[in-house]
Amino acid sequence: MNLLMCPVCHEALKLTERTWRCENNHSYDVAKQGYVNLHVVQHKHSKNPGDTPESVQARRAFLSAGHYAPLQQAVVNIIRDLRIENLLDIGCGEGYYTNAMQAEVLQCVGVDIAKNAVQVAAKLNKDVTWVVGTGATLPVLDQSIDLCTSLFSPIPKDEILRVLKPEGHLMVVTPAPEHLYAMREALFEEVKPHEPNKFVEQLTAAFELVSEQVVKAEMVLPQQDLKNLIAMTPYAYKVKAERREALEQKDQFALTAQYQIYLFKKK
């Protein structure tokens, strides 16, 4: 079953050879890397939205080293227990989590606003439908999705409600209170715990909270992995240069990753 929607007229897209086309003859070619760009010009607010190429490469290198594998496995276990047919990963980035999710479903769509991230992701797994698109207009059909996932990504609530089936689920992964606390202490003068509960408060009107869990992972990072972690986070451009340089000079650094996973069901 096709899931993709034309971002211009919102009709269903059909794939013929290497072109997605709707009944109004809007067409979108599959790039040689294997993704389709459904982020049309009229929806763009900048020329190259989303993560920078440097951030994407840093994330790919860091995640490939396995430091966030406990989170990846926890997410896969939840999807396996749901026994669903399809999912939409919102903000899929370079595809680390989406790649693992795909094995648990019949159809998997990964969407991200950053074209350079999707280009990298598309090389990972040809069985995922990789899409450059925006959460403001998710590029999938109404009530077509069993599970939307948002891992450290925006949560376009109204669009998620549109694309989810009546009994559909939403999985949100966000930093738990103590996530990367030691690193943030080294980078900033004042550090506040993360507040994951704000997502629950934002979503309770439209979603029922089914389950929640915290996953912890202790890490001792060698210097290059530490540099990659800093580069892939928003801290990279918020921190003073001298503090970042001082931390990056350490041969290794011990810290704890702490993730909050919420599973919601559409009311």
Asked whether residue 26 is marked as a ligand-binding residue, the answer is yes
247: its two tokens: 């931390």
Tokens read off for 203: 């979503």
- Is 94 annotated as contributing to ligand binding? yes
Q: CB pairs under 8 A, 24+ apart, for 47-54?
A: 48/114, 48/115, 48/116, 49/113, 49/114, 49/134, 50/112, 50/113, 50/114, 50/115, 50/116, 50/117, 51/93, 51/114, 51/116, 51/117, 52/116, 53/116, 54/231
* 249 backbone φψ class: left, alpha, beta (φ>0; ψ -120 to 50): alpha
The neighbour count for residue 8, using CB atoms within 10 Å, is: 15
208 belongs to an annotated ligand binding site: no
Residues in contact with 230: Cβ distance below 8 Å, sequence separation at least 6, in sequence order: 183, 187, 236, 239, 244, 247, 248
Helix axes 115-122, 53-64, angle to 10 degrees: 40
Q: Which amino acid is at 208?
A: E
Q: φ, ψ for residue 233 (rounded to 5)?
A: -100, 165
Task: State the DSSP H helix or E strand holding residue 216, giving kind and residue range, or none if neither.
Answer: strand 207-222
Residues paired with 215 in a beta bridge: 259
> Is 22 annotated as contributing to ligand binding?
yes
Numbered residues of the known binding site for S-adenosyl-L-methionine: 68, 94-95, 179
**Binding site as annotated, residues:** 6, 9, 22, 26, 68, 94-95, 179
Binding site membership for Zn(2+): which residues? Answer: 6, 9, 22, 26
